Amino acid sequence: MPPCVLLAGFSCSCQTHFSSKQGTYPRAFGLGLYTRLNKAFFPFADSPGVRFSSCTPKVCIVGSGPAGFYTAQHLLKTHQNVHVDIYERLPVPFGLVRFGVAPDHPEVKNVINTFTQTAKHSRCRFYGNVNVGKDVSVGELKQAYHAVVLSYGAEGNRSMGVPGEGLAGVYSAKDFVGWYNGHPSCRELNPDLNCETAVILGQGNVALDVARVLLSPIDILKKTDITQPALEALVRSQIRRVLIVGRRGPVQVACTIKELREMVNLPGTKSEMVEADFDGVTEALKDLPRPRKRLTELLLKTALDTPGDKEQQRRHQASRTWGFRFFRSPSEVLADADGNKTVGIRLAVTRLEGSGEGARAVLTGEVEDVTCGLVISSIGYKSHPIDPSVPFDTRRAVIPNTMGRVKQATGLYCSGWLKTGPTGVIATTMNNSFDTARSLVEDMESEALDLSSVKTGSEVISALLEERGVKSVSFSDWEKIDSVEMSRGEASGKPREKILTVEEMIQVART
Amino acid sequence: MLSRREVGGGRSSLGFSLIPSFPQGSNNKVTVHFINRDGDKITAKGAPGDTLLDVVLNEDLDFDGFGACEGTLACSTCHLIFEDEVFKKLGPVTDEEMDMLDLAYGLTDTSRLGCQICLSKSLDGMVARVPESVTDIRQSKDESA
């Protein structure tokens, strides 16, 4: 279980309910900027430029999460006549912004406004409900386009590799997050929340998202776009205590400070730490770079400081607890007498070799059993290969690339987590996607990419899909889904009530 | 006819434009010099109370990816770097802004988020540098990471 360095940070960069100098920002604030942003992003919009080639370069992007949209945005902006088609497996766009970002972090979803502008650009088309690798191959896309950008992300889950991992009551964070965020493939997860203690393995931002959703007051959650079934399950939840377990120590914790601060301030909860875990941490502070130092200081304060009167009162009223458990590595999920259900987890005690970010956890040989009915493994996402013709580094679970150019595959590019591995906040993905777009435009300009032949683009692909009985969903179809979801949400005081099945999404799109 | 930029975007300036020696725009507006990622200087104006993010958007300044979360303190893409003297005048930083700054590329001791800096007359003529993003060059080079 490697440390989840800024694990799945999409959720970590999102922060909500903070007031700034200008007061608390209402959600609607984003809409005012929306049209203004468009001009800044697309200065050449609709100009018929002929700067690079007389033949219209056609590029397709596989995956419509942040990596796909940021790559498209930069391509459209920096190249005056490139045409970009975005293919998406689901009928709905935006990937982890819709299915990963925590429901109580609506601010980060503001990026959707810019993505929408990109999708509506005159040289951009969205094709949802197209499963690349199954409905159409990467080879066929390469035939139809001058370049193919793979940005389908990391939908797999690293496994713990310990006995008992398959028991009832053990879930991957990916599935659990997908469940409360309405991913169609996680609809039937129905996690059993009928126990007092939940153990989360991993201490990244996804782990903290899960902890927060498990412990948040329902009054907060019911105003978010969390799915109705998840909300109802959380209303009935018996979980009162969440332990967030990591192999290494406080100085190596993988979450970011925003997410930690949210836990510290979560209404109705108090923290429960092990004082001994913080031995020597105060002394280590002085050598840490600012971000790590501030994070560690907040941890220390939470764990060790004597609370003031107000905080004491807050803690006194708390009915739920959470805490980090450091220096512990999962060794076995423990089953009930029938061998079906989770009743606890055996944790191997570790100690650190070395110090700082590079410190390694080694087993001491001791173990500790913790009683719990729910185990959520949040030790990292993982990309899967999509097509045997595309190079794939199975060890690192990324596509081998140089600045987004897939190695030994002219015309193939990658961006996002598929390119770098599943770490970083949304700004990281934005920059890495811009870099890939930059490489692609460079190749078009330098003629490293052959633009001399006319490519048929979506014309031929649409015909292929038709032949195979695949009906794609356009961006305006998505807007129908979007508007139905928002009006259903309005009825129950939520920003959105997500449609939970692909069938219903398509049905609404076709109306 | 004065362009919008010459009068600093003043929408109500027409009534005063009869007094050319005392243009209303330069009276009320605050001048900001941005240094973009290529090192070019771009001069813009904003009204007191506007944030630096507002100025970037209102003036259509082309800083790629700037202000992704639209000023809601949910990202660090409006990160700007200031000179010491200016930085001291910018006022206190909240914990929440610091938390986001901690995730910014090229963080310096005089970094702030543009969405949190409100213009005032005392900041007239300030210089704000847009940091380069370098992270991914590093990531791509380090294949073993």
Asked if residue B82 belongs to a domain, the reply is: yes
Listed by number, the residues of chain B in 81-140 with a beta carbon closer than 8 Å to a beta carbon of chain A are 91, 94-100, 102-105, 107, 115-116, 118, 133, 135-137, 139-140
Question: Chain A contact for B71, CB < 8 A?
Answer: yes
pLDDT of residue B37: 87
Would you give the end-to-end CA distance of chain B in angstroms? 58
Nearest CA in chain B to A35: B57
Question: Chain B contact for A107, CB < 8 A?
Answer: yes
Q: Rounded to whole angstroms, what are the CA distances from A51 to A181, A442, A449, A510?
A: 44, 13, 15, 39
More confidently predicted of A186 and B19: A186
Over 60: is that where the pLDDT of A287 sits?
A: yes
- CATH number, span A58-155+383-452+460-473: 3.40.50.720
**Interface-testing mutation among B73, B97, B100, with chain A (most A C-beta atoms within 10 A):** B73
Task: Using the CB atoms, write b or e for A380-401: b if 16+ within 10 Å.
Answer: bbbbeebbeebebeeeebbbbb
Asked if residue B75 belongs to a domain, the reply is: yes
**Smallest Cβ distance to B77: which of A14, A43, A430?**
A430
Q: Structural domain tally of chain B?
A: 1
Q: Which residues in chain B touch residue A357, judged by CB atoms under 8 angstroms apart?
A: none
pLDDT of residue A184: 98
Asked if residue B12 belongs to a domain, the reply is: no
Task: Spell out the per-residue pLDDT of chain B, length 145, in tens.
Answer: 333 333 333 333 333 333 344 444 456 899 999 999 889 999 999 999 999 999 999 999 988 889 999 999 999 999 999 999 999 999 899 999 999 999 998 899 999 999 999 999 999 999 999 998 644 333 333 333 3
pLDDT of residue B28: 85
Asked if residue B90 belongs to a domain, the reply is: yes
State the nearest Cα–Cα gap between B24 and chain A, in angstroms: 25
Task: Using the CB atoms, write b or e for A441-475: b if 16+ within 10 Å.
Answer: bebbeeeebebeeebebbebbbebbeeeebebbbb
Cβ–Cβ gap B140/A40 under 8 Å: no
Closest to A157 (Cα-Cα) out of A490, A384, A491, A366: A384
pLDDT of residue B62: 87
Q: Which residues in chain A touch residue B137, judged by CB atoms under 8 angstroms apart?
A: 403, 435
Over 70: is that where the pLDDT of A25 sits?
A: no
User: Per-residue DSSP letters for A420-435?
Assistant: H-SBS-HHHHHHHHHH
> A288: exposed, middle or buried (C-beta count within 10 Å: 0-12, 13-18, 19+)?
middle
**Smallest Cβ distance to B72: which of A29, A43, A295?**
A29
Cβ–Cβ gap B103/A291 under 8 Å: yes
**In the 8-state DSSP scheme, what is residue A167?**
S
Q: Which residues in chain B touch residue A358, judged by CB atoms under 8 angstroms apart?
A: none
Domain enclosing residue B76, as ranges: 30-129
CATH number at residue B67: 3.10.20.30
Asked if residue B139 belongs to a domain, the reply is: no
Q: Could you tell me the two tokens for B93?
A: 């930083």
Asked if residue B16 belongs to a domain, the reply is: no
Report the DSSP beta bridge partners of residue A369. A346
**For residue A357, what pLDDT band results from cuts at 50, 70 and 90?**
confident
Cβ–Cβ gap A13/B76 under 8 Å: yes
Q: For chain A, give every domain's residue range.
A: 1-53, 58-155+383-452+460-473, 159-381
**For residue A375, what pLDDT band results from cuts at 50, 70 and 90?**
very high
Average pLDDT of the segment spanning A302-329: 94
Q: How far is CA A200 from the centre of its chain?
A: 17
pLDDT of residue B26: 53
pTM for the full predicted model:
0.86
> Position B15: which residue type?
G
Backbone angles phi, psi at A61, to 5 degrees: -120, 135
Cβ–Cβ gap B103/A30 under 8 Å: no
Instruction: Please enumerate in sequence order all residues whose Cβ is within 8 A of that of A164, keeping only pairs 6 or more positions apart, or say none.
Output: A170, A332, A333, A334, A335, A342
**Chain length of chain A:** 511
pLDDT of residue A355: 87
pLDDT of residue A351: 97
Closest to A73 (Cα-Cα) out of A103, A105, A44: A44
How much is the mean pLDDT over chain A? 90
Asked if residue B37 belongs to a domain, the reply is: yes
Which residue reads 């900027």 in tokens?
A33
Asked if residue B13 belongs to a domain, the reply is: no
Range in A51-55, A437-441, A485-489, B83-87 with the lowest mean pLDDT: A51-55
Nearest CA in chain B to A71: B65
Over 50: is that where the pLDDT of A39 sits?
A: no
User: What ipTM, to 2 d.p.?
Assistant: 0.82
Instruction: Please enumerate in sequence order all residues whose Cβ is within 8 A of that of B11, keeping only pairs 6 or more positions apart, or say none.
Output: none
pLDDT of residue A12: 34
Report the DSSP beta bridge partners of residue A324. A244
* Fold adopted by A159-381: FAD/NAD(P)-binding domain (3.50.50)
> Is residue A417 marked as binding?
yes
Cβ–Cβ gap B103/A425 under 8 Å: yes
Cβ–Cβ gap B115/A431 under 8 Å: no
* Coil, strand or helix at A264: helix
